Amino acid sequence: MLHETLGKFTGLLQSDGYSAYTSYIKKHDMELVSCLAHIWRKFFEARKNHLEKAEYALEQIQLMYGLEQIAREEGFAPAERLGLRKLMAAPMYYNLLEWTPTE
């Protein structure tokens, strides 16, 4: 089914973590990338267990969404959006990925 859907697609594949994609990309020229909305949902659910840690992550994600809102409101062209993402959102995203909450 995946082969029929993706065909000869190569490149970055954004996914919700569905395990079938993990095994599929190993056989094809693809890289699996995370979905910020799914990351947000997991931290939202984690608030009941670790409120402060989850709130920090949610705040960081909200900042990234805020950049997208600014780009929309200002009518950024695709190249301008890409520049904004590379300059501001990417460092925030990678910092969040590298962040290790401590007890």
Q: For tokens 């890409």, what's the residue?
A: 82
The CA–CA distances, whole Å, from 56 to 14, 44, 63, 90 equal 24, 11, 11, 17
All structural domains of the chain with their residue ranges: 2-33, 36-98
| 56 Cβ neighbours under 8 A, 6+ residues apart | 99, 101
Confidence category of residue 83, pLDDT binned at 50, 70, 90: very high
Instruction: Give the residue, 10 or 55, on which the prediction is more confident.
Output: 55
- Nearest to 36, CA basis, from 102, 101, 89, 103: 89
Q: State residue 1's pLDDT score.
A: 61
| 3 pLDDT more than 70 | no
Q: Of the spans 1-5, 24-28, 67-71, which averages the highest pLDDT?
A: 67-71
pTM, rounded to two decimals: 0.75
* Number of neighbours of residue 89 by Cβ within 10 angstroms: 19
Grouping H, G, I as helix, E, B as strand and the rest as coil, residue 101 is coil
Confidence category of residue 5, pLDDT binned at 50, 70, 90: confident
